[in-house]
Amino acid sequence: MFDFFKKKKNGPDFSEIDSREKAEAAAKDGSLVSILMMPEVFGGVPVGPNVIFVPAWVAEQKERIDLGTVLPLAQEGKITRYEAQPAYKGDSFVPSSITIHAHTPGDFSVTIEIW
């Protein structure tokens, strides 16, 4: 009767994926993919905290930003620094957002909202 007052979910909820093991299992079944926060093109290596798990659309969007926007800025000398920072909700191992900040001397910043 009072379902009207219940909060409706408007998107994915990754709160149940609260360990690396669960994230790796989700990657095996295709629900998530692993990506590098600091991409290889900028010197990132696939180890430890540089590897995170996200839905495939996030991986595609981050790659478009890294290669289509940030890399050309770096090649033109407009930026020399790159940071990608995940934000998390609760104990989830899947970030709720990723903020990319490329700077010095210029400045570029974007946040990918995941869930």
* DSSP assignment of 35-57: EESS-GGGT--SSGGGEEEE-HH
For tokens 């903020």, the residue is 99
The predicted structure's pLDDT at residue 9: 56
Domain count, the chain: 1
Token pair listed for 8: 């409706």
Token pair listed for 15: 């709160």
Residues 6+ apart with CB under 8 A from 5: none
Look up the pTM and report it: 0.88
Contact (CB, 8 A) for 71 and 33 = no
Q: Does residue 53 belong to any structural domain of this protein?
A: yes
Q: Does residue 5 belong to any structural domain of this protein?
A: no
Q: Does residue 2 belong to any structural domain of this protein?
A: no
pLDDT tens-digit map of 18-70: 999 999 999 999 999 999 999 999 999 999 999 999 999 999 999 999 999 99
- C-alpha 114/C-alpha 97 separation (Å) is 5
- C-alpha 12/C-alpha 8 separation (Å) is 12
Domain that holds residue 85: 16-113
2 confidence band (pLDDT: 50, 70, 90): low
The predicted structure's pLDDT at residue 3: 52
Q: Does residue 9 belong to any structural domain of this protein?
A: no
Contact (CB, 8 A) for 81 and 38 = no
Q: Does residue 1 belong to any structural domain of this protein?
A: no
Q: Does residue 26 belong to any structural domain of this protein?
A: yes
Q: Does residue 4 belong to any structural domain of this protein?
A: no
Q: Does residue 107 belong to any structural domain of this protein?
A: yes
